[in-house]
Amino acid sequence: METIERAKNLTRQLITFAKGGAPRRETGNLASIVKDALEKTVKDTDISLCVDASPALHPVSFDGEQIGQTVECVGLNAIEAMQGRGG
C-alpha cells in the first residue's frame, strides 16, 4: 500500500507542476518529516540512523510530500555513495 500511496502522490505532484499549480503547503516543524523520510530510506539496510534536531526549530511553510521525497532521494544517493563503507 505504501508504494501505491507514493505513486499517487507523485502523480499529483506531476499534475500540479504541469498545470502550473501551487504545492500543498502546511506550516510545521521539518524535523519529523526529515526523520520519517530517512527512516524509510534506511529501513531495509544495516545503516543506523540518528537524527538530532533542535526542539527550538521555528515552524516553516512547506509541502511535506515534496520535502520527504527530496530527503529520501538524498538519503538514497548517500547510501549508494557509501558502497557498503558506511557505519
Domain ranges of the chain: 24-87
Query: What is the distance between the alpha carbons of residues 64 and 35, in angstroms, rounded to a whole number?
Result: 12
Per the CB < 8 A criterion, the answer to whether 63 and 24 are in contact is yes
pLDDT score of 37: 92
State the distance between the two ends of the chain, measured CA to CA, in whole angstroms: 30
Query: What is the distance between the alpha carbons of residues 87 and 45, in angstroms, rounded to a whole number?
Result: 11
pLDDT in tens, 24-61: 788 998 999 999 999 999 988 888 889 898 888 899 99
Contacts of 37 (CB under 8 A, 6+ apart): 67, 68, 69, 71, 72, 75
Residue with cell 501551487: 22
pLDDT score of 45: 86
pLDDT score of 84: 61
pLDDT score of 11: 77
